[in-house]
């Protein structure tokens, strides 16, 4: 499932985050309570708040986001930090069972299915179908990949 250069969800596998702490992928995830969230500017609710209130300070934004998330029943956020490529092969499924999930990876390649049960933010250098595949998967098909740095933030919401 993982090596020094990549984490691959193989065809036929279904992985649901957050995973158990003893799962091999558990070493990549961090669970934080809503009150522990400090870097909130990439979350959809934060983008909406800054659009309607562009003069919010970072402290005010963090407090407003934490308050909103707590009042909406969100108890935690999952952060998945992969210092390598992340690939979802054709026939594989990855489920991010949020309410809030942030995935950081070098490259995020999808030929299978990605499902999110909450807010999902993916930060990576390249996002799309694996090289040489134009089919794409359940995230939006097409295989559009961002070939040049700087890193991109790709917020995706699935219901």
**What residues make up the domain containing 14?**
6-31+76-158
CB atoms within 10 A of CB 42: 13
Q: Is residue 59 part of a domain?
A: no
Q: Is residue 122 part of a domain?
A: yes
Measured on CA atoms in the order 137, 141, 143, 144, is the torsion positive or negative?
A: negative
Interatomic CA distance for residues 134 and 53, integer angstroms: 41
Residue 90 reports pLDDT greater than 50: yes
pLDDT confidence of residue 3 = 61
Which residue has better confidence, 157 or 92?
92
Q: Say what the pTM is.
A: 0.70
Residue 146 reports pLDDT greater than 60: no
The overall longest dimension of the chain from CA atoms, in Å, is: 48
In which band, very low, low, confident or very high, does the pLDDT at 63 lie, cut at 50, 70 and 90? confident
Residue 147 reports pLDDT greater than 70: no
Q: Is residue 1 part of a domain?
A: no
Residue 136 reports pLDDT greater than 50: no
**In total, how many domains does the chain have?**
1
Residues in CB range of 47: below 8 A, 6 or more apart = 41, 155
Q: Is residue 37 part of a domain?
A: no
pLDDT confidence of residue 152 = 43
Instruction: Compute the average pLDDT of residues 141-148.
Output: 38
Which residue has better confidence, 64 or 133?
64
Which residue has better confidence, 99 or 96?
96
């Amino acid at each position: 499932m993982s090596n020094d250069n990549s984490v691959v969800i193989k065809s036929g596998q279904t992985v649901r985050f957050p995973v158990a702490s003893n799962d091999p992928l558990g070493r990549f995830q961090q669970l934080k309570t809503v009150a522990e969230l400090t870097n909130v500017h990439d979350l959809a609710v934060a983008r909406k708040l800054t659009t309607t209130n562009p003069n919010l300070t970072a402290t005010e934004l963090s407090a407003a986001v934490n308050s909103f998330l707590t009042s909406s029943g969100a108890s935690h956020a999952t952060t998945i930090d992969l210092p390598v490529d992340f690939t979802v092969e054709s026939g594989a499924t990855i489920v991010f069972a949020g309410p809030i999930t942030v995935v950081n990876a070098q490259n995020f390649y999808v030929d299978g299915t990605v499902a999110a049960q909450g807010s999902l933010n993916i930060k990576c250098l390249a996002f799309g179908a694996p090289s040489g595949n134009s089919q794409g998967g359940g995230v939006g098909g097409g295989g559009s990949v961002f070939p040049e740095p700087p890193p991109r933030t790709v917020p995706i919401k699935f219901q």
